[in-house]
Amino acid sequence: MLNQRRVALLRFLLAPGDRVNTVATLAARLGVSERLIRYDLAEIGDWVRRKGAQVRHDPRSGICIDGDCERVLADLESVMRSDKPPAEYILTPAERHNWIMTLLLEQGDPVPIGTLADQLGVSRGTIYSDLHAVAERLGQYGLQLTKRPKRGVCVSGPETGIREALVALALERIGMDQLVLLIAQCEQTDRWELEPYDLPPGPCFRAALRALRAVEDYSGLGLTDVWFAEAVLHLAFAVHRVRQGKHAEFPGLPATDAPEWRTARLLVEQVEALSGTSMPASEVAPLAELIQKAGRRVCAAGRELPHSPDAVYLARRFAAVAESLLAVDLAGDSDFISGLALHLQPIPHRLAQSPPIVNPLLEQIREMYPELFAAARQAAAVLEEAWGLPVPEAEVGYLTMHLGAALERRRLARPRRHRVVAVCSSGVGTARLLASRLQAALPEVELVAVTSLLSLGETLRTCECDLVVATCPVPEIATPVVQVSPLLFAGDLRAIRDALAPEGYVHSFQRRGYPPMLSDVLTEQLIRLGVEAADWEAAVRAAGRVLVDNGAVEPRYVDAMVEGVRRVGPYIVVAPGVALPHARPEDGVRRLAISMVQLRDPVAFGHETNDPVSLVFALAAVDVDSHLKALSQLSSIISNPEHVARLGSAQDVAEVLKVVFPNTAGKEEGACGS
């Protein structure tokens, strides 16, 4: 027997690609145990054998399906598109609820309990239990489940709610990606085979699609593919329901000439002409609301459609808070601000007027980007304050995707070339050999000077560099030094890369199987207690000085942190009494580190609710994401007022380490191993 998980497993095995599927990779993809995957593979094997195929375990290619895969896939899709629950498929409770809900919404008349039980192949008791869940879901759309004595159950409530529910159920059945693909195929082939997907009839769907396309071309309405597809679905259901005599209720049309209402009126006129269905004036209002909350896309020419100044302002506030939490430049990312503003514009209307937002990727987002999700959740507070509405987790998931996209763009951006000074005291020939080998073997290096040991001091005073590569011993200087052979053997190159790129420091943790943890980057050498500071700038500089003294950053990084506070403002005060200043990796970071400064007397940073500050954690990040795990661990500590109070009153470093690393005995010794 098939079920929802086994169907997902089958589709994954039937999908083209050169990946090697193992029990472990399949379990990870579906988020279940390996034991359950083995059991599912046995059940799938029985099913595919009846279709002329078999599940095969190949040592090289992994788990795959051998035989007539096209027939297997066609039979699978046939099962899933059936207009009634298939006998060879076990419905999950959620699938039963959706099937019952769809039937009741479309039927209109009461349906006997026995009929539901017979069609679903379950007991009447199971149906009664299911109806409780159905009633709760219907309530999200302002609908009620009504029991008619001796007749069964039916749905009552406003027509607009029924349509919203029908659209949501249709989207769950087909999936947004498949709907967009179906629309593209319909437009290209002029074939409207919609019955397998349980969508509105072909003539209604075709009229809705062509009307929306015509209005979009005429008015310049630029909907994203997702919103265009959903609008087609809304409009198609509207035509279908009007043909059945079900009209949208609206107490009275407002006398408005807003763009959304003009577009909605034009849509009604177009679909009326294309479908031959007389559409009442009350159909304008729900379409206007849909257009108002819809997301807009970038025009074909690359010019973005205009968005409201309020949305841009909120996007910048959100970016400032998220930047302070993640230590990643977001406020200066114009692509991020613009895209987020377009996304934010329709949200308050959607939250106030619509059923709960559904995000099918929410669980995957939370699993893949836990630190970004936590930051988005906190930064969403500025949106809730502005809108006077709670932001649900489904929407936080979408905000997380914007953050993830911004980090990906920064990760893919070409890094700055590292500046190196080569030192050789044994002659011009050796110096030239070293220089040529450096440039040939390390294209990421910019050789800014080749000098002798005696001239090194003057060279460093006249040019900035990240590393000194020398063929001879060099006295202790502020700039990192790597001593190498003029021939630059493989070990020399590894040493240069590890010293040059802070990523090498990060990779050392990754080679051990985990990203840098808080215990790796906040060591006892980076903690200072009872520090005096006259104001916020002195406090930031004190925390930055600790990083400089420990070789984690160059002195210019401290200036950059101060400028960052002036630019971002008091958002860096991320919790009551706690500030988290930082700057960009290119501002002089040598390795990933976090310093902690406990102030003798708290100082004000200008934050409305979190001042005064008694703890300053200065972060030196080497890239956009290697610090996120450690930062997440720090955030969980400083979000606890009791922990903050203990850190603020700690009398020695050992006491601090007990608060920061409560589950690690003897942390004073282990904390030094950075």
Percent of the chain at pLDDT exceeding 90: 12
Strand positions, DSSP E, 39-134: 53-58, 62-67
**In sequence order, which residues have a C-beta less than 8 Å from that of residue 18 and are 6 or more positions away?**
none
For residue 345, what pLDDT band results from cuts at 50, 70 and 90? confident
| SS3 (DSSP) at 368 | helix
Pick the more confident residue, 79 or 455. 455
Of the ranges 221-235, 412-426, 559-573, the best mean pLDDT one: 559-573
* Contact yes or no for 343/314 (Cβ under 8 A): no
pLDDT at 537: 93
Is residue 582 annotated as a catalytic residue, yes or no? yes
Closest C-alpha to 543, from 533, 534, 569: 533
Q: Among the three residues 130, 157, 184, which one is the final residue of a domain in this structure?
A: 157
For residue 33, what pLDDT band results from cuts at 50, 70 and 90? low
Q: Among the three residues 107, 138, 157, which one is the final residue of a domain in this structure?
A: 157
Query: Can you give the residue range of the structural domain that contains 657?
Result: 514-670
DSSP annotation string for 522-581? S-GGGEEEEE--SSHHHHHHHHHHHHHHTTSB-HHHHHHHHHHHHHH-GGG--BTTEE--
Residue 280 lies in a domain: yes
Cβ burial 489-524 (10 Å sphere, 16+ → b, else e) = eeebeebbbebbbbbbbbeebeeeeebbebbbbbbb
Pick the more confident residue, 17 or 168. 168
Tokens standing for 447?
Answer: 């050789």
- At 603-615, the pLDDT tens digits run 999 888 889 999 9
| Same domain as 423, residue 395 | no
* Burial (CB count within 10 angstroms: exposed 0-12, middle 13-18, buried 19+), residue 312: middle
pLDDT at 297: 42
| SS3 (DSSP) at 613 | strand
CATH number (domain holding residue 580): 3.40.930.10
| Same domain as 151, residue 167 | no
| Same domain as 521, residue 661 | yes
| Same domain as 661, residue 519 | yes
- At 616-661, the pLDDT tens digits run 999 998 877 788 888 888 888 888 889 999 998 989 998 898 888 8
Residues 307, 582, 607, 627: which is the catalytic one? Answer: 582
Q: Give yes or no for a cis peptide into 112 (omega within 30° of 0).
A: no
pLDDT at 290: 75
Pick the more confident residue, 1 or 598. 598
Sequence-distant contacts of 364-371: CB under 8 A, at least 24 apart: 365/397, 365/400, 365/401, 365/404, 366/397, 367/31, 368/404, 369/400, 369/403, 369/404, 370/632, 371/326, 371/628, 371/629, 371/631, 371/632
Residue 304 lies in a domain: no
* Contact yes or no for 611/574 (Cβ under 8 A): no
Residue 558: pLDDT above 90?
yes
pLDDT at 418: 78
> How many whole angstroms separate alpha carbon 505 and alpha carbon 373?
26
Q: What is the CA radius of gyration of the chain?
A: 31
- At 117-128, the pLDDT tens digits run 877 778 888 989
Closest C-alpha to 235, from 270, 208, 207, 264: 208
- At 193-205, the pLDDT tens digits run 665 566 888 888 8
Pick the more confident residue, 413 or 209. 209
- At 449-485, the pLDDT tens digits run 888 888 888 888 888 788 889 888 888 887 888 888 8
Tell me which amino acid residue 383 is: L
> How many whole angstroms separate alpha carbon 542 and alpha carbon 658?
23
Tokens standing for 554?
Answer: 């160059």
Domain count, the chain: 6
Average pLDDT over residues 39-43: 72
> pTM of the entire structure?
0.53
> How many whole angstroms separate alpha carbon 642 and alpha carbon 469?
48
Residue 508 lies in a domain: no
CATH number (domain holding residue 439): 3.40.50.2300
CATH number (domain holding residue 289): 1.10.1790
